[in-house]
Amino acid sequence: MAHRSWLGALAGAALGAVAARAAYAAFTRRPPIGDEKTWTRTNHRGEPITLLEGPAFVAGAGAAAALVPGLPGRVRAAAVLAGVGAGGLGAYDDLHGSGASKGFRGHLTALARGEVTSGAVKILGIGAAGLAAASLLRRSGEGGATARFADTLIDGALIAGAANLANLFDLRPGRAIKVGLLAGGPLVAASLAKDATAGAALAAVPLGAGIALLPEDLGERAMLGDAGANALGALLGVAAASSLGRPARLAALGVVAGLTAASEKVSFTKVIAGNPVLNRLDMLGRRPR
């Protein structure tokens, strides 16, 4: 019945929100690795800011995906693997990245020279996690072997690509979470329209976690960093891969690939600042420049 999908979405969002806030409170008291200084960085204003929002998002959204009712076991496993895997690799880059190489091109160019950057480790690791999660989404009885292989490649690329793309927006307060809400909202709505309880619950989990942490992000007290942004994108990628048909997944992958390629040539920050509508959304809830 229709009310079940609504309950699933509410349960997913509520669990994500409660778990993320609880994780943030715990990590600010006792960081998961090192001490407070280990996670402190300088933001775009030149002010200190903590990256602990990222691990809190990973832990909260991962726990919610593991506990939210109504998900098939294979989908639950795929979500936890993709979210925690991408988040863990993002945290590794947060703590050990030098910033000398940036973007796909920078990290892959360094890799071609024999230099293994933390970003290259993250790119390859998230790609592997995306493929592993995608393989869990395909039932053995669904279509032929060729179709399942093609779907696994599409879904793996979508999950990994979404994880990377979300991170490209984490350059200003609240931006990555706002983009996640704009991308995830239609996924929840589509699942509710189809009365798909599992799809609604899964898509709502990262949205709830993001909304719960948004005040810290907008207040410039904390930021998602690679850990949180990668996990946000990966979880939305799993939600899309598990609930959309192949044409819609191919379209989503095209958008992700196109935006990722564009990021190598243009600055998203400059594009957003130059568009009145996008700029207003970007500044909503933020401190004035």
pLDDT tens-digit profile of 55-85? 999 999 999 999 999 899 999 999 999 999 9
Residue 141 class from Cβ within 10 Å (0-12 exposed, 13-18 middle, 19+ buried)? exposed
Q: Tokens for 232, please give them.
A: 């946000």
Q: Which residue has the tokens 């490649």?
A: 153
**Is the per-residue pLDDT at 119 higher than 90?**
no
**Is the per-residue pLDDT at 106 higher than 70?**
no
Q: Which domain holds residue 52?
A: 2-283
Residue 187 class from Cβ within 10 Å (0-12 exposed, 13-18 middle, 19+ buried)? buried
Q: Helix, strand, or coil here: 41?
A: strand
What is the structure's pLDDT at 142? 62
Portion of the chain with pLDDT greater than 70, in percent: 91
What is the structure's pLDDT at 139? 63
What is the structure's pLDDT at 5? 86
What is the structure's pLDDT at 101? 52
Rounded Cα distance, 204 and 25, in Å? 22
- The pTM of this model reads 0.92
Number of domains in the chain: 1
What is the structure's pLDDT at 110? 60
What is the structure's pLDDT at 45? 84
Residue 288 covered by a domain = no
Residue 241 covered by a domain = yes
Residue 24 covered by a domain = yes
Residue 230 covered by a domain = yes
CB 119 within 8 A of CB 93: yes
CB 25 within 8 A of CB 197: no
What is the structure's pLDDT at 252? 96
Rounded Cα distance, 210 and 178, in Å? 9
Residue 125 covered by a domain = yes
Beta bridge partners of 224: none
Average pLDDT over residues 194-211: 93
Residue 289 covered by a domain = no
Residues composing the chain? 289
**Is the per-residue pLDDT at 107 higher than 70?**
no
| CA angle (158, 164, 165) in 5-degree steps | 85
Residue 11 covered by a domain = yes
Residue 147 covered by a domain = yes
Q: Where are the alpha helices (DSSP H) in the chain?
A: 2-29, 53-67, 73-96, 103-112, 118-137, 145-168, 175-193, 197-218, 225-243, 246-263, 268-274, 276-283
**Of 119, 126, 117, 116, residue with least CA distance to 82:** 126
The secondary structure element, H or E, covering residue 42 is strand 40-42
pLDDT band at 195 (very low <50, low <70, confident <90, very high): confident
**Is the per-residue pLDDT at 221 higher than 80?**
yes
Q: Which residue has the tokens 């991962």?
A: 62
What is the structure's pLDDT at 211? 97
